[in-house]
Structure 1
Amino acid sequence: MTSAPPPPVLELRGVGRTYPGSPPVTALHPTDLRVESGDFLAVVGPSGSGKSTLLNLLGLLDRPTQGSYRLAGTDVGSLSERDRAALRGRRVGFVFQAFHLLPHRTALENVALAQLYVTRRGEPRQANGARALRRVGLGHRLHALPSRLSGGERQRVAIARAVVNTPDILLCDEPTGNLDSATADAVMDLLAELNQAGVTVVVITHDPAVAQRPPRRVTILDGRLSEAAPAGRTAGGAR
Protein backbone atom coordinates (compact mmCIF):
# COMPACT_ATOMS: atom_id res chain seq x y z
CA MET A 1 0.00 0.00 0.00
CA THR A 2 1.54 3.30 -1.09
CA SER A 3 1.59 6.14 1.41
CA ALA A 4 -0.12 9.42 0.63
CA PRO A 5 2.17 12.14 -0.76
CA PRO A 6 3.14 14.88 1.70
CA PRO A 7 1.05 18.06 1.56
CA PRO A 8 2.48 21.08 -0.25
CA VAL A 9 4.55 23.41 1.88
CA LEU A 10 2.31 26.34 0.90
CA GLU A 11 -1.15 26.23 -0.59
CA LEU A 12 -3.26 29.33 -1.23
CA ARG A 13 -6.81 28.90 -2.46
CA GLY A 14 -8.54 32.11 -3.47
CA VAL A 15 -6.49 34.10 -0.99
CA GLY A 16 -6.89 37.86 -1.21
CA ARG A 17 -6.18 40.91 0.94
CA THR A 18 -8.21 44.11 0.94
CA TYR A 19 -7.39 47.00 3.23
CA PRO A 20 -10.32 49.01 4.61
CA GLY A 21 -10.74 52.60 3.61
CA SER A 22 -12.81 54.89 1.48
CA PRO A 23 -12.57 53.37 -1.02
CA PRO A 24 -11.12 50.00 0.10
CA VAL A 25 -7.79 49.03 -1.47
CA THR A 26 -7.31 45.51 -2.85
CA ALA A 27 -3.61 44.74 -2.50
CA LEU A 28 -3.92 41.08 -3.51
CA HIS A 29 -6.70 39.74 -5.69
CA PRO A 30 -7.97 36.18 -5.07
CA THR A 31 -4.94 34.01 -5.72
CA ASP A 32 -4.12 30.32 -5.99
CA LEU A 33 -0.53 29.29 -5.34
CA ARG A 34 1.00 25.91 -4.54
CA VAL A 35 4.61 25.45 -3.47
CA GLU A 36 5.88 21.91 -3.09
CA SER A 37 8.70 20.72 -0.88
CA GLY A 38 12.00 21.39 -2.66
CA ASP A 39 10.68 24.15 -4.93
CA PHE A 40 12.85 27.17 -5.74
CA LEU A 41 10.51 29.98 -6.72
CA ALA A 42 10.92 33.66 -7.59
CA VAL A 43 8.05 36.11 -7.19
CA VAL A 44 8.91 39.16 -9.26
CA GLY A 45 7.13 42.47 -9.61
CA PRO A 46 7.68 46.24 -9.40
CA SER A 47 7.25 48.38 -6.31
CA GLY A 48 3.59 48.54 -5.29
CA SER A 49 2.66 45.35 -7.11
CA GLY A 50 1.60 43.44 -3.98
CA LYS A 51 4.84 41.60 -3.18
CA SER A 52 4.97 42.75 0.44
CA THR A 53 1.34 41.87 1.00
CA LEU A 54 1.94 38.39 -0.38
CA LEU A 55 5.06 37.94 1.77
CA ASN A 56 3.20 39.01 4.92
CA LEU A 57 0.44 36.51 4.20
CA LEU A 58 2.82 33.65 3.42
CA GLY A 59 4.86 34.38 6.54
CA LEU A 60 1.79 34.57 8.82
CA LEU A 61 2.50 38.21 9.56
CA ASP A 62 -0.94 39.20 8.27
CA ARG A 63 -4.28 37.49 7.66
CA PRO A 64 -6.11 37.31 4.34
CA THR A 65 -9.54 38.84 4.03
CA GLN A 66 -10.69 35.94 1.84
CA GLY A 67 -9.66 32.45 0.84
CA SER A 68 -7.81 29.70 2.69
CA TYR A 69 -4.12 29.14 3.39
CA ARG A 70 -2.45 25.89 4.41
CA LEU A 71 1.13 25.87 5.65
CA ALA A 72 2.69 22.40 5.70
CA GLY A 73 -0.81 20.93 5.75
CA THR A 74 -2.14 23.14 8.57
CA ASP A 75 -5.10 25.40 7.84
CA VAL A 76 -3.92 28.61 9.49
CA GLY A 77 -7.17 30.52 9.17
CA SER A 78 -8.62 29.60 12.54
CA LEU A 79 -5.39 29.69 14.55
CA SER A 80 -4.92 32.17 17.38
CA GLU A 81 -2.13 34.72 17.12
CA ARG A 82 -0.12 32.72 19.65
CA ASP A 83 -0.48 29.53 17.61
CA ARG A 84 0.34 31.38 14.39
CA ALA A 85 3.51 32.76 15.97
CA ALA A 86 4.54 29.29 17.16
CA LEU A 87 3.87 27.80 13.72
CA ARG A 88 5.79 30.61 12.05
CA GLY A 89 8.77 30.04 14.34
CA ARG A 90 8.89 26.33 13.54
CA ARG A 91 8.00 26.34 9.86
CA VAL A 92 9.19 29.62 8.27
CA GLY A 93 12.63 31.20 7.96
CA PHE A 94 12.88 34.85 6.89
CA VAL A 95 15.70 36.64 5.05
CA PHE A 96 15.30 40.40 4.64
CA GLN A 97 17.02 43.06 2.56
CA ALA A 98 18.20 44.96 5.65
CA PHE A 99 19.78 41.95 7.47
CA HIS A 100 18.29 42.93 10.89
CA LEU A 101 21.31 41.70 12.87
CA LEU A 102 21.83 42.82 16.47
CA PRO A 103 24.90 45.08 16.20
CA HIS A 104 26.46 44.24 19.58
CA ARG A 105 26.06 40.47 19.20
CA THR A 106 28.48 38.24 17.31
CA ALA A 107 27.47 36.29 14.25
CA LEU A 108 27.13 33.17 16.40
CA GLU A 109 25.06 34.97 19.03
CA ASN A 110 22.72 36.41 16.36
CA VAL A 111 22.08 32.92 14.97
CA ALA A 112 21.81 31.25 18.38
CA LEU A 113 19.21 33.78 19.56
CA ALA A 114 16.91 32.76 16.71
CA GLN A 115 16.42 29.43 18.48
CA LEU A 116 15.37 30.92 21.82
CA TYR A 117 11.62 30.40 21.42
CA VAL A 118 11.77 27.33 19.18
CA THR A 119 14.21 24.87 20.72
CA ARG A 120 13.69 23.27 24.11
CA ARG A 121 15.79 24.17 27.11
CA GLY A 122 19.04 22.26 27.12
CA GLU A 123 19.31 21.92 23.35
CA PRO A 124 22.74 23.04 22.08
CA ARG A 125 21.88 26.43 20.60
CA GLN A 126 25.52 27.49 20.25
CA ALA A 127 26.44 24.25 18.47
CA ASN A 128 23.41 24.53 16.19
CA GLY A 129 24.31 28.14 15.41
CA ALA A 130 27.90 27.26 14.60
CA ARG A 131 26.70 24.44 12.34
CA ALA A 132 24.37 26.82 10.48
CA LEU A 133 27.16 29.38 10.01
CA ARG A 134 29.51 26.72 8.68
CA ARG A 135 26.74 25.67 6.31
CA VAL A 136 26.77 29.15 4.73
CA GLY A 137 30.57 29.34 4.61
CA LEU A 138 31.16 31.44 7.73
CA GLY A 139 32.70 28.93 10.08
CA HIS A 140 35.72 31.24 10.35
CA ARG A 141 33.61 34.28 11.36
CA LEU A 142 31.65 32.92 14.32
CA HIS A 143 32.78 35.60 16.77
CA ALA A 144 32.80 38.63 14.45
CA LEU A 145 30.43 41.52 15.13
CA PRO A 146 28.22 42.67 12.23
CA SER A 147 30.28 45.87 11.94
CA ARG A 148 33.31 43.71 11.08
CA LEU A 149 31.49 41.81 8.35
CA SER A 150 30.99 42.72 4.70
CA GLY A 151 27.48 43.13 3.30
CA GLY A 152 27.61 39.68 1.76
CA GLU A 153 28.80 38.14 5.04
CA ARG A 154 26.02 39.86 6.97
CA GLN A 155 23.47 38.44 4.56
CA ARG A 156 25.01 34.99 5.03
CA VAL A 157 24.60 35.38 8.79
CA ALA A 158 20.97 36.33 8.19
CA ILE A 159 20.51 33.22 6.04
CA ALA A 160 22.14 31.04 8.72
CA ARG A 161 19.76 32.55 11.28
CA ALA A 162 16.84 31.75 8.99
CA VAL A 163 17.78 28.10 8.45
CA VAL A 164 19.04 27.21 11.94
CA ASN A 165 15.60 25.98 13.03
CA THR A 166 15.27 23.79 9.89
CA PRO A 167 12.10 25.51 8.62
CA ASP A 168 9.86 24.05 5.94
CA ILE A 169 10.35 27.14 3.79
CA LEU A 170 12.74 30.05 3.44
CA LEU A 171 11.05 33.36 2.51
CA CYS A 172 13.55 35.86 1.11
CA ASP A 173 12.38 39.46 0.75
CA GLU A 174 14.69 41.32 -1.68
CA PRO A 175 17.70 39.41 -0.29
CA THR A 176 20.12 41.07 -2.74
CA GLY A 177 18.71 44.59 -2.55
CA ASN A 178 21.59 46.01 -0.47
CA LEU A 179 24.36 44.15 -2.31
CA ASP A 180 26.53 44.81 -5.35
CA SER A 181 26.02 42.54 -8.34
CA ALA A 182 28.92 40.18 -7.60
CA THR A 183 27.88 39.73 -3.97
CA ALA A 184 24.25 39.33 -5.04
CA ASP A 185 25.28 36.51 -7.37
CA ALA A 186 27.13 34.82 -4.50
CA VAL A 187 24.06 35.06 -2.25
CA MET A 188 21.85 33.59 -4.98
CA ASP A 189 24.42 30.81 -5.44
CA LEU A 190 24.10 30.06 -1.73
CA LEU A 191 20.30 29.97 -1.90
CA ALA A 192 20.56 27.60 -4.88
CA GLU A 193 22.94 25.36 -2.88
CA LEU A 194 20.53 25.29 0.07
CA ASN A 195 17.71 24.43 -2.30
CA GLN A 196 19.75 21.59 -3.80
CA ALA A 197 20.21 20.32 -0.23
CA GLY A 198 16.43 20.18 0.20
CA VAL A 199 15.42 23.64 1.46
CA THR A 200 12.27 25.08 -0.13
CA VAL A 201 13.05 28.69 -1.14
CA VAL A 202 10.81 31.57 -2.23
CA VAL A 203 12.61 34.76 -3.34
CA ILE A 204 10.54 37.92 -3.63
CA THR A 205 12.27 40.52 -5.80
CA HIS A 206 11.84 43.46 -8.14
CA ASP A 207 15.06 42.55 -9.99
CA PRO A 208 14.51 40.57 -13.22
CA ALA A 209 18.11 39.30 -13.13
CA VAL A 210 17.57 37.79 -9.66
CA ALA A 211 14.24 36.36 -10.76
CA GLN A 212 15.95 34.47 -13.58
CA ARG A 213 17.96 32.34 -11.15
CA PRO A 214 15.22 30.09 -9.71
CA PRO A 215 13.75 27.55 -12.15
CA ARG A 216 10.21 28.62 -11.32
CA ARG A 217 8.93 32.20 -11.62
CA VAL A 218 5.68 33.92 -10.74
CA THR A 219 4.95 37.51 -11.73
CA ILE A 220 2.85 39.80 -9.56
CA LEU A 221 1.40 42.98 -11.01
CA ASP A 222 -1.38 45.13 -9.54
CA GLY A 223 -2.05 42.41 -6.97
CA ARG A 224 -2.49 39.61 -9.52
CA LEU A 225 -0.26 36.56 -9.83
CA SER A 226 0.56 34.82 -13.09
CA GLU A 227 3.01 32.06 -13.87
CA ALA A 228 4.60 31.26 -17.21
CA ALA A 229 4.85 27.53 -17.86
CA PRO A 230 8.34 26.06 -18.24
CA ALA A 231 9.32 24.92 -21.73
CA GLY A 232 7.24 21.96 -22.84
CA ARG A 233 4.25 22.80 -20.65
CA THR A 234 1.19 24.92 -21.27
CA ALA A 235 0.48 27.76 -18.91
CA GLY A 236 -2.04 27.00 -16.25
CA GLY A 237 -1.62 29.72 -13.67
CA ALA A 238 0.32 29.55 -10.41
CA ARG A 239 0.23 25.86 -9.70
Structure 2
Amino acid sequence: MMSLRECLDWLARTGNANIHGITKRIPAEVFLVEKQYLRPISKAVNIPANIVTRGVRKDNTILYHSNRYSVPLGTYRPGKKLFLTEEDGNIIFTDPDSNHVAAVHRINPGKGQLIQNNNHLRDHTGKISGLQDQVLEMLGNIPEALMLLNMIKTDKPRYVRDQFLLIKATVSNNTVEVIQNAIQYCSDNELWSAVDFRAAVEHFARNNANADTATAIGPPYVPQPYKIKPEARDINDYVAVCGGGK
Protein backbone atom coordinates (compact mmCIF):
# COMPACT_ATOMS: atom_id res chain seq x y z
CA MET A 1 0.00 0.00 0.00
CA MET A 2 1.32 3.45 -0.93
CA SER A 3 2.07 5.94 1.82
CA LEU A 4 0.56 9.41 1.85
CA ARG A 5 3.89 10.87 0.74
CA GLU A 6 4.07 8.49 -2.19
CA CYS A 7 0.50 9.36 -3.20
CA LEU A 8 1.24 13.09 -3.15
CA ASP A 9 4.41 12.55 -5.18
CA TRP A 10 2.47 10.57 -7.77
CA LEU A 11 -0.15 13.31 -8.05
CA ALA A 12 2.51 15.99 -8.51
CA ARG A 13 4.46 13.88 -11.01
CA THR A 14 1.68 12.16 -12.95
CA GLY A 15 -1.95 12.57 -11.89
CA ASN A 16 -2.04 16.37 -11.94
CA ALA A 17 0.89 17.00 -14.27
CA ASN A 18 -0.13 15.07 -17.38
CA ILE A 19 -2.74 16.02 -19.96
CA HIS A 20 -6.13 14.58 -19.02
CA GLY A 21 -7.47 12.04 -21.50
CA ILE A 22 -10.96 13.61 -21.72
CA THR A 23 -10.51 17.33 -21.03
CA LYS A 24 -7.16 17.44 -22.88
CA ARG A 25 -5.92 19.87 -20.23
CA ILE A 26 -3.42 19.62 -17.37
CA PRO A 27 -5.31 19.41 -14.03
CA ALA A 28 -2.71 21.44 -12.11
CA GLU A 29 -3.05 24.33 -14.55
CA VAL A 30 -6.85 24.17 -14.51
CA PHE A 31 -6.84 24.31 -10.71
CA LEU A 32 -4.79 27.53 -10.74
CA VAL A 33 -7.63 29.17 -12.65
CA GLU A 34 -10.53 27.61 -10.73
CA LYS A 35 -9.19 28.25 -7.24
CA GLN A 36 -9.68 31.99 -7.78
CA TYR A 37 -13.43 31.37 -7.59
CA LEU A 38 -13.42 29.11 -4.52
CA ARG A 39 -14.95 30.36 -1.28
CA PRO A 40 -14.19 29.13 2.25
CA ILE A 41 -16.84 26.99 3.90
CA SER A 42 -18.18 27.62 7.37
CA LYS A 43 -16.02 26.13 10.10
CA ALA A 44 -19.09 24.99 12.01
CA VAL A 45 -22.21 23.32 10.60
CA ASN A 46 -25.24 24.26 12.65
CA ILE A 47 -27.27 21.06 13.04
CA PRO A 48 -29.68 21.09 15.99
CA ALA A 49 -28.48 18.43 18.40
CA ASN A 50 -32.01 17.51 19.48
CA ILE A 51 -33.25 16.49 16.01
CA VAL A 52 -33.16 12.79 15.18
CA THR A 53 -35.09 10.52 12.85
CA ARG A 54 -37.10 7.46 13.78
CA GLY A 55 -38.77 4.85 11.61
CA VAL A 56 -42.53 4.38 11.74
CA ARG A 57 -43.53 0.87 12.79
CA LYS A 58 -46.30 -1.16 11.15
CA ASP A 59 -48.64 -0.45 14.08
CA ASN A 60 -48.21 3.30 13.41
CA THR A 61 -46.02 3.90 16.44
CA ILE A 62 -42.47 5.16 16.94
CA LEU A 63 -40.10 3.62 19.45
CA TYR A 64 -38.20 6.18 21.53
CA HIS A 65 -36.38 5.56 24.82
CA SER A 66 -38.08 2.16 25.19
CA ASN A 67 -41.59 3.66 24.84
CA ARG A 68 -43.95 3.57 21.88
CA TYR A 69 -45.57 6.82 20.77
CA SER A 70 -48.53 6.76 18.39
CA VAL A 71 -48.78 8.59 15.08
CA PRO A 72 -51.94 8.91 12.91
CA LEU A 73 -53.38 5.80 11.29
CA GLY A 74 -51.98 5.37 7.80
CA THR A 75 -48.65 7.08 8.51
CA TYR A 76 -46.72 3.83 8.12
CA ARG A 77 -45.30 2.74 4.82
CA PRO A 78 -42.07 0.81 4.15
CA GLY A 79 -39.06 2.97 4.95
CA LYS A 80 -41.12 5.86 6.32
CA LYS A 81 -39.28 8.01 8.88
CA LEU A 82 -40.22 11.12 10.88
CA PHE A 83 -38.14 13.85 12.45
CA LEU A 84 -38.18 13.72 16.24
CA THR A 85 -37.54 16.77 18.43
CA GLU A 86 -37.90 17.45 22.14
CA GLU A 87 -39.28 20.77 23.30
CA ASP A 88 -40.53 21.81 26.76
CA GLY A 89 -41.11 18.25 27.87
CA ASN A 90 -42.92 17.33 24.63
CA ILE A 91 -41.87 15.02 21.84
CA ILE A 92 -42.76 16.30 18.37
CA PHE A 93 -42.90 14.10 15.25
CA THR A 94 -42.60 15.96 11.94
CA ASP A 95 -42.88 14.61 8.40
CA PRO A 96 -39.63 15.55 6.62
CA ASP A 97 -41.36 15.45 3.22
CA SER A 98 -44.07 18.01 3.99
CA ASN A 99 -42.73 19.59 7.20
CA HIS A 100 -46.15 18.79 8.69
CA VAL A 101 -46.36 17.99 12.41
CA ALA A 102 -47.71 14.45 12.56
CA ALA A 103 -48.01 14.08 16.35
CA VAL A 104 -47.15 15.70 19.67
CA HIS A 105 -46.88 13.79 22.98
CA ARG A 106 -45.70 14.48 26.49
CA ILE A 107 -42.45 12.62 27.13
CA ASN A 108 -43.09 9.60 29.31
CA PRO A 109 -40.28 8.91 31.84
CA GLY A 110 -41.24 5.22 32.14
CA LYS A 111 -40.21 2.21 30.10
CA GLY A 112 -42.23 -0.12 27.92
CA GLN A 113 -45.23 2.21 27.80
CA LEU A 114 -47.61 2.88 24.92
CA ILE A 115 -48.34 6.59 24.71
CA GLN A 116 -51.33 6.92 22.45
CA ASN A 117 -53.60 9.66 21.17
CA ASN A 118 -57.05 8.13 20.62
CA ASN A 119 -57.56 10.41 17.64
CA HIS A 120 -54.74 8.57 15.92
CA LEU A 121 -56.87 5.41 15.91
CA ARG A 122 -59.62 6.94 13.81
CA ASP A 123 -59.73 6.33 10.09
CA HIS A 124 -60.12 9.72 8.44
CA THR A 125 -60.17 8.20 4.98
CA GLY A 126 -63.75 6.94 4.99
CA LYS A 127 -64.54 8.53 1.64
CA ILE A 128 -61.38 7.06 0.15
CA SER A 129 -62.28 3.63 1.51
CA GLY A 130 -65.71 3.91 -0.10
CA LEU A 131 -64.13 4.86 -3.40
CA GLN A 132 -61.69 1.97 -3.08
CA ASP A 133 -64.58 -0.45 -2.56
CA GLN A 134 -66.26 0.84 -5.73
CA VAL A 135 -63.08 0.48 -7.79
CA LEU A 136 -62.36 -2.96 -6.36
CA GLU A 137 -65.84 -4.11 -7.39
CA MET A 138 -65.23 -2.79 -10.92
CA LEU A 139 -61.92 -4.68 -11.04
CA GLY A 140 -63.66 -7.95 -10.29
CA ASN A 141 -62.91 -8.09 -6.56
CA ILE A 142 -59.93 -10.40 -7.12
CA PRO A 143 -56.92 -10.60 -4.75
CA GLU A 144 -54.53 -9.07 -7.30
CA ALA A 145 -56.83 -6.06 -7.65
CA LEU A 146 -56.98 -5.58 -3.88
CA MET A 147 -53.18 -5.70 -3.70
CA LEU A 148 -52.90 -3.13 -6.49
CA LEU A 149 -55.22 -0.68 -4.71
CA ASN A 150 -53.62 -1.21 -1.30
CA MET A 151 -50.13 -0.65 -2.68
CA ILE A 152 -51.27 2.53 -4.45
CA LYS A 153 -52.74 3.77 -1.17
CA THR A 154 -49.47 2.98 0.62
CA ASP A 155 -47.09 4.41 -1.98
CA LYS A 156 -49.14 7.48 -2.95
CA PRO A 157 -51.25 8.48 0.06
CA ARG A 158 -51.46 12.12 -0.98
CA TYR A 159 -52.79 11.31 -4.45
CA VAL A 160 -54.79 8.17 -3.75
CA ARG A 161 -58.12 9.76 -4.68
CA ASP A 162 -56.83 10.87 -8.09
CA GLN A 163 -55.26 7.44 -8.60
CA PHE A 164 -58.51 5.60 -7.87
CA LEU A 165 -60.55 7.94 -10.08
CA LEU A 166 -58.15 7.34 -12.98
CA ILE A 167 -58.47 3.57 -12.56
CA LYS A 168 -62.26 3.92 -12.38
CA ALA A 169 -62.35 5.87 -15.65
CA THR A 170 -60.00 3.37 -17.30
CA VAL A 171 -62.04 0.34 -16.27
CA SER A 172 -65.35 1.77 -17.48
CA ASN A 173 -64.13 1.90 -21.09
CA ASN A 174 -62.64 -1.60 -21.45
CA THR A 175 -63.55 -5.28 -21.41
CA VAL A 176 -63.22 -7.64 -18.47
CA GLU A 177 -60.53 -9.67 -20.25
CA VAL A 178 -58.36 -6.60 -20.89
CA ILE A 179 -58.79 -5.37 -17.30
CA GLN A 180 -57.84 -8.72 -15.78
CA ASN A 181 -54.78 -9.03 -18.02
CA ALA A 182 -53.67 -5.53 -17.01
CA ILE A 183 -54.15 -6.28 -13.30
CA GLN A 184 -52.10 -9.45 -13.58
CA TYR A 185 -49.37 -7.64 -15.52
CA CYS A 186 -49.10 -4.88 -12.90
CA SER A 187 -49.05 -7.43 -10.10
CA ASP A 188 -46.35 -9.56 -11.74
CA ASN A 189 -44.14 -6.54 -12.43
CA GLU A 190 -44.91 -4.65 -9.18
CA LEU A 191 -46.28 -1.60 -11.00
CA TRP A 192 -48.26 0.21 -8.32
CA SER A 193 -49.73 3.28 -10.02
CA ALA A 194 -52.86 4.18 -11.93
CA VAL A 195 -50.79 5.48 -14.85
CA ASP A 196 -49.00 2.14 -15.23
CA PHE A 197 -52.33 0.34 -14.98
CA ARG A 198 -53.82 2.53 -17.72
CA ALA A 199 -50.79 1.91 -19.95
CA ALA A 200 -51.17 -1.85 -19.44
CA VAL A 201 -54.88 -1.66 -20.29
CA GLU A 202 -54.14 0.28 -23.48
CA HIS A 203 -51.50 -2.31 -24.44
CA PHE A 204 -53.80 -5.31 -24.03
CA ALA A 205 -56.70 -3.47 -25.70
CA ARG A 206 -54.53 -2.83 -28.78
CA ASN A 207 -53.47 -6.48 -28.87
CA ASN A 208 -57.10 -7.61 -28.79
CA ALA A 209 -58.07 -5.12 -31.50
CA ASN A 210 -55.26 -6.34 -33.75
CA ALA A 211 -56.27 -9.96 -33.20
CA ASP A 212 -59.93 -9.18 -34.03
CA THR A 213 -58.89 -7.37 -37.21
CA ALA A 214 -56.77 -10.30 -38.34
CA THR A 215 -59.68 -12.68 -37.76
CA ALA A 216 -62.11 -10.47 -39.66
CA ILE A 217 -59.87 -10.18 -42.71
CA GLY A 218 -59.55 -13.94 -43.23
CA PRO A 219 -57.98 -15.52 -46.33
CA PRO A 220 -57.69 -13.36 -49.50
CA TYR A 221 -60.65 -13.53 -51.91
CA VAL A 222 -59.95 -14.88 -55.42
CA PRO A 223 -62.67 -14.37 -58.07
CA GLN A 224 -63.99 -17.56 -59.71
CA PRO A 225 -62.69 -16.80 -63.29
CA TYR A 226 -59.14 -16.69 -61.95
CA LYS A 227 -59.34 -20.04 -60.23
CA ILE A 228 -57.60 -21.79 -63.14
CA LYS A 229 -55.93 -25.14 -62.72
CA PRO A 230 -52.96 -25.49 -65.10
CA GLU A 231 -52.88 -28.53 -67.40
CA ALA A 232 -50.50 -31.27 -66.33
CA ARG A 233 -48.51 -32.67 -69.28
CA ASP A 234 -46.71 -35.95 -69.56
CA ILE A 235 -42.94 -35.71 -69.17
CA ASN A 236 -42.45 -37.52 -72.50
CA ASP A 237 -43.98 -34.55 -74.36
CA TYR A 238 -41.15 -32.32 -73.06
CA VAL A 239 -38.55 -34.94 -73.91
CA ALA A 240 -39.84 -35.10 -77.49
CA VAL A 241 -39.80 -31.29 -77.91
CA CYS A 242 -36.20 -31.14 -76.71
CA GLY A 243 -35.15 -33.84 -79.18
CA GLY A 244 -34.54 -36.49 -76.62
CA GLY A 245 -35.68 -40.08 -76.56
CA LYS A 246 -35.28 -42.74 -79.16
Q: Which of these two proteins has the greater Rg computed from alpha carbons?
A: 2
Answer 1 or 2: which has greater strand percent.
1
Please say whether Structure 1 and Structure 2 have the same fold, judged by a TM-score greater than 0.5: no
TM-score, normalised relative to structure 2: 0.19
Answer 1 or 2: which has greater helix percent.
2
TM-score, normalised relative to structure 1: 0.20
